[in-house]
Amino acid sequence: MEWSLSEVQDVVSSAVPERDMLVWKNVRRTYGEVASRSRGIASFLAASGIGARRERKDLERWQCGQSPVALILYNCPEYIEAMMGCFRARAVPFNVNHHYRPAEVRELLEIVGAEAVIYHRSLNGLVREVLEDRDLVLIDVEDDPAAPALPGSTNFEEAAQFDRTGEAALPHVSPDDVYLVCTGGTTGSPKGVVWRQADIFVAAMGGSELTTADSLTAGAQAGVGAWFAAPPLMHAAAQWTVFGGLHSGATIVLHDDRHPFDAVTIVETAARERVSLIAIVGDAYARPIIEALRRNPVDLSSLRRIGTGGATTSVDSKRALLELLPHVTVVDGYGASETGGMAFGANTSGAMSKGFSPAAGAVVLSADRSRILQAGDQEIGWAARRGRVPLGYLDDRQTTESTFPVIDGERVAVPGDRAMIELDGTIRLLGRDSMVVNTGGEKVFVEEVEQVLCRHPDVVDALVVGRPSERFGQEVAAVVQLRPGAAVEPGELREFVTKSLARFKAPRSVAFCDAMGRHPSGKPDYQWALRAAADAVSAVDPAPI
């Protein structure tokens, strides 16, 4: 049996209607309450003409066929209720980065073809500028008493209580219905990744090929505790954490992301809610959390797992977390909007992972993308997934066919990361191909250099890029944030790297910054790093005269 996300949630909500489903600040809502409210949103959208236009059988794989609904929201319970309401109305919610400038948001809404917008009132300035003369269905979430709703907008609470006497008229959902996630990745323009709901459920939201109504009910009744999604919901990884938990009957705790990342609030919330899992994004989250725990230890005895992904988590950070929380397992996750959760590495106080164990469907393709590499093949290939993968990129046939090629009759997702497969079958990830520095004919994967730089005792954070070099074509350049009061010479950082890596991989130039450029999700902002690296100074001793 294949599942739509609405059908999964119906089963789980019926199994545990009185359990807390969503916790955000002082708001708590049960599974039953959220089910009712999301049906109200669905009814309102359906009554507004939002829903399915064409069925999957009549579409190319890069086409959607359903009404897209833009979510321009901070983290809040309404974000999840909006997604569930859209799914039930056979509409397609999609994430909008509220840090984008108006022109960027306008372009995204045009690319996706938005027919409705659900937004926080405090963001109404952005939304007003984006809409111009567009006639869209508007739903506003009140978060600032001083911020009025836009003309013609319906308040979320009113929509959630929409007259459901005609609920039987809601459309029948399908496993073929679309889940859409918009991603800009670390480079490039945003793209809409089109998934069948049946596929994303198995690939990233806790489902399996063997899921049944009975197994969902039993799993929900047993429960998995409280899961804390610290990253913003406008990014895929946080959505997957949330829905993976909800499909197991978890209580989902959300972080208020309208303010700068506050590690103290994160750990205090985790302690108060007795969470069993926290999802974070690499060192950008791990290092502040480590410092917060060192300054103010709290009771995290209920915590069993820290899931980290989306950016590099250094070995030192994982060891520090395990020293502070020896009962916890730190799970490195590798995946992309184009693959779902693809490989995992478990780290405990007794054993550190040396690579990523592939999940179902995870493989490494040969460099020419013609075959699947076998354990021990000494070839740098491409991380890939087969089986449950996206249909393609929205309205982009060319990129769909290059990123999701058909190999031996099977569609495969190739997100662009280089990798090798080890003798024991684990996957060694080398980094994004677009961020490889070609210096003097040698290829340098920037994440490998970043991890070494972050081991330096005076380095808080580091990003590595390639900048033009008359001699080498490109040279390795590092942008480094030092600890307050620290003084380190560029040459010292270069020599530090050469103790672990070949000399050609060590930065030939270094730029220092007060704060590292990262996206709100914690992912590296390599466009910012390229600009910062323009001012990097040489880390190489001048040649003797």
Instruction: Compute the average pLDDT of residues 311-316.
Output: 82
Q: What percentage of the chain reaches a pLDDT higher than 70?
A: 97
Both structure tokens of 161: 């209580």
Instruction: Work out the number of other CB atoms within 10 angstroms of the CB of residue 342.
Output: 29
407-434 pLDDT, tens digit per residue, is: 888 889 998 888 999 998 889 888 777 7
Distance, CA of 67 to CA of 174 (rounded, Å): 15
Distance, CA of 402 to CA of 191 (rounded, Å): 14
Distance, CA of 287 to CA of 279 (rounded, Å): 14
Nearest alpha carbon to residue 417 among 463, 466, 367: 367
Distance, CA of 266 to CA of 39 (rounded, Å): 31
Coil vs helix vs strand at 370: coil
Buried b (16+ CB within 10 A) or exposed e, 515-533: ebbbbbbbbbbbebbbebb
Query: Taking a C-beta distance cutoff of 8 angstroms, is the pair 275, 23 a contact?
Result: no
Q: Which of 184-188, 390-394, 435-439 has the highest mean pLDDT?
A: 390-394
What local confidence, expressed as pLDDT, does residue 186 receive?
40
Element housing 462 (H / E): strand 459-469
5-203 maps to CATH 3.40.50.980: yes
Instruction: Compute the average pLDDT of residues 394-402.
Output: 94
What local confidence, expressed as pLDDT, does residue 542 receive?
64
Give every CB contact of residue 197 below 8 A, 6+ residues apart in sequence: 3, 4, 5, 87, 175, 176, 177, 178, 179
pLDDT grade, residue 187 (50/70/90)?
A: very low
Distance, CA of 60 to CA of 436 (rounded, Å): 33
HSE, CB side, 13 Å, CA atoms: give it for residue 68: 23
CATH number at 440-538? 3.30.300.30
Task: Indicate the burial class of 500 (C-beta count within 10 angstroms; 0-12, 13-18, 19 or more).
Answer: middle
Domains of the chain, residue spans: 5-203, 360-436, 440-538
Q: Give the global pTM.
A: 0.85
Class of domain 360-436 (CATH, top level): mainly beta
- The torsion of the CA quartet 429, 434, 435, 436, rounded to 10 degrees, works out to 70
The DSSP line for 109-167 is HHHHT-SEEEEEGGGHHHHHHHHTT---EEEEE---TTSPPPTT-EEHHHHHT--GGGG
Query: Taking a C-beta distance cutoff of 8 angstroms, is the pair 346, 353 a contact?
Result: yes
Both structure tokens of 39: 């049906």
Query: Taking a C-beta distance cutoff of 8 angstroms, is the pair 273, 228 a contact?
Result: yes
Report DSSP state, residue 312: -
What local confidence, expressed as pLDDT, does residue 167 receive?
55
Distance, CA of 121 to CA of 147 (rounded, Å): 6
Distance, CA of 88 to CA of 51 (rounded, Å): 9
Nearest alpha carbon to residue 329 among 358, 355, 311, 351: 351
Judge whether 5-203 and 440-538 match in fold: no
Label residue 369 left, alpha or beta by phi (over 0 means left) and psi (-120 to 50 means alpha): left
19-32 pLDDT, tens digit per residue, is: 999 999 999 999 99
Instruction: Compute the average pLDDT of residues 391-399.
Output: 95
What local confidence, expressed as pLDDT, does residue 164 receive?
66
Instruction: Work out the number of other CB atoms within 10 angstroms of the CB of residue 301.
Output: 11
